[in-house]
Structure 1
Amino acid sequence: MTIRTPNPINSSQMLLDLQRSKERYSNYASQLTTGKAIVNLGDDPAGSAAILNFQASIDQNSQFISQINAATGFLQNSETVASSVQTQVTRLMELAQSGLNGTQSATSRGAIASEVDGIYTGLVNLANTKVQGKYIFAGTNTTTVPFDAATAPAGQPNSITYNGNNANIDFTVGASATTATNIPGDTLFLGGAAPGSYGGNLDLFNAAKSLSVALNSGNTANIQTAYTNLQAISTHLNDVITQLGGLQNGIDNIKTSLQDVNTNLQAVQDTVEGVDYPTAITGFSREGTAQSATLSVLSKISSKNLFDYLA
């Protein structure tokens, strides 16, 4: 009589196949749970490398977008202040015209001068605007108060000393693109790089202070000069506001482009990374069935003993 016993080699192979099936089953389960075709980097090295490259580009573009958002905040505040200054300059021009009216008395001109002084103080406050703890009209000297109303430059008693600089604060908004996020205070309020612009026809503080002095003294010639200078300042402010708007539109366009690129990259990444659900479901079911069958066979083998084969 021939006695047959279970082949340990066959059992070992079945156990090995079972382990591999469990790994494939777990992988399919992870794919269905995460929605990603590549669960482990080793599953598809080429696809994994492509996904990492896509994600690196997306992350870099997202950083540029964050920079743009920060730049936008500074530009918007600068534009808001510039528009407020323009409004005040328009009012100063109206007051200057009133002062030129020959029917004005010394008392009425003094009242007009008082309003001019109030506007002057407001302009100094606007020039020293602070955003997120930084003076936005100090150039790159953002921790220094740019305009000190108590200090006049030499030979220009009606002007204010500018303590900032004429440098731009540039933000990186692309792989090879930067944008200015500020207008230096001397450009906006003095008309150009200090100190050469102190007392010039675009020096706003000089124009306002000179107007007040001329109104109080009744000097119509100087009132007219102040009015003429305010007209030039108004034109200059319009140019600055247009410049700020152009900077804003430029970085808005860059932001839109970066967002579009990220959307496209994400779509391609999803195509590479996304799971093929029909294939994953079929594989998941197949491996589950295979494991059940293998376990059933192993259980029958393990339940047999020598007497089963002798029977």
Structure 2
Amino acid sequence: MRISNNIMYSDFIKNLGTNSSKVQKTMNQLSSFKEVSKSSDNPLLVSKIMGLNVALDQNQMYSKTINDAISWTQVQDSALNDAGTTMLRIRTLVQSSATATAGTDEVKANKDEIQQSISELVDTLNTNFDGRYIFGGSNTNTPPYVVKKNSDGDITGIDYQGTDQNLPREISEGVSVDLLSNGNNLMNTHDKTTGKDDNLGTYFNDLVSALNSDDKTQLSGDLLSRFDNLSDNITSVRSQVGALENRLSAAQSRNSTETLNLKEEISDKQDVDVASKYMEYQNQMTAYQATIAMGTKIMQTTVLNYLD
């Protein structure tokens, strides 16, 4: 079968275009270090890469939320530690005032220090993190605790001005935790032995009244046992904060692992193997140059080449 020059020219142009396109594509991959640069290069691969990038962005958003929540719980733990120290000092002063040997002047001095300690306790519970009050419930913009005083300057209680809600935080898809920001949990307690409820503000009012009247029976009895329940309640809330911090730390570890896996998977699908791709480029250039070389021979053929 006779092969016409037109057929040879057509095949040459087709092969030249194919090899040229391959070389151009490989050069683009080497210059960008990416397997694909637009969706038409490989629609299915691009779709997978886009999905992985969305998952990575979402995971990094969760990471920021988790880190913020961990910092929040750490500030809470520090504040409750200071609150526990202040409560311990108040208990020591109550015990000192309850002894039979404590005179009027000593009780008055203890009362003054107790009132200072109550104010210090309120300042501690009004701690804020990044401009947000940590025990104000959903109201994080205003101090949640306020000391009440009478006309004589004596403390008559503590008012809680926050809300009863905790702050929800989504730490992964479909998983949320509540930051323990409901400050009412620190104010109120329930005595399982007596079945009675108590309030920190009410207690401090009763305590100052007993100190004013030097009621050692109350100071050594009911007020001391009530104080222990209220102090234990603060310790209990602190343990809950610690448990939440442990959970968040575990979530942070999982998030970091997931982020690393997603980055590796994106890299496997998107990034080029430079050494392998360069070898591929060299082979393609060889084929391209061979095609051009053969083309010059074909193009130079005339009718005289067939005359003997």
Q: Flag whether TM exceeds 0.5 (same fold).
A: yes
Residue 210 (structure 2) aligns with: 214
Task: State whether residues 201 and 207 of structure 1, in contact with CA within 8 Å, keep that contact through their aligned partners in structure 2.
Answer: no
Which residue of 272, 284, 289 corresponds with 2:286?
289
Task: State whether residues 149 and 161 of structure 1, in contact with CA within 8 Å, keep that contact through their aligned partners in structure 2.
Answer: yes
Alpha-carbon distance, 1:17 to partner: 4.1
Residue 242 (structure 1) aligns with: 239
Q: TM-score, normalised by structure 1?
A: 0.80
Uncovered stretches (5+) of structure 2, i.e. residues with no partner: 191-195, 304-308
Please tell me the residue identity of whatever aligns with 1:228: S
- Superposed, 1:166-181 pairs within 5 Å as 166-181=164-179
Looking at structure 2, the residues matched to 202 and 22 of structure 1 have their Cα atoms a distance apart, in angstroms, of 85
Call closer, same or farther: CA 1:285–1:56 in 2, change over 3 Å. Answer: same
Alpha-carbon distance, 1:34 to partner: 4.2
Looking at structure 2, the residues matched to 174 and 223 of structure 1 have their Cα atoms a distance apart, in angstroms, of 50
Alpha-carbon distance, 1:294 to partner: 4.5
Call closer, same or farther: CA 1:179–1:151 in 2, change over 3 Å. Answer: farther
Looking at structure 2, the residues matched to 93 and 49 of structure 1 have their Cα atoms a distance apart, in angstroms, of 65
Looking at structure 2, the residues matched to 123 and 190 of structure 1 have their Cα atoms a distance apart, in angstroms, of 15
Looking at structure 2, the residues matched to 202 and 24 of structure 1 have their Cα atoms a distance apart, in angstroms, of 80
Task: State whether residues 95 and 112 of structure 1, in contact with CA within 8 Å, keep that contact through their aligned partners in structure 2.
Answer: yes
SS across alignment from 2:268: helix
Asked if 1:231 is matched to 2:228, the reply is: yes
Please tell me the residue identity of whatever aligns with 1:110: K
Which residue of 55, 60, 63 corresponds with 1:62?
60
Q: TM-score, normalised by structure 2?
A: 0.81
Uncovered stretches (5+) of structure 1, i.e. residues with no partner: 1-6, 193-199, 307-311
Q: Percent identity?
A: 23
SS across alignment from 2:138: coil
Q: CA RMSD in A?
A: 3.3
SS across alignment from 1:158: strand
Structure ranking higher in strand proportion: 2
Residue 149 (structure 1) aligns with: 147
Alpha-carbon distance, 1:15 to partner: 5.1
Residue 159 (structure 1) aligns with: 157
Task: State whether residues 210 and 222 of structure 1, in contact with CA within 8 Å, keep that contact through their aligned partners in structure 2.
Answer: no
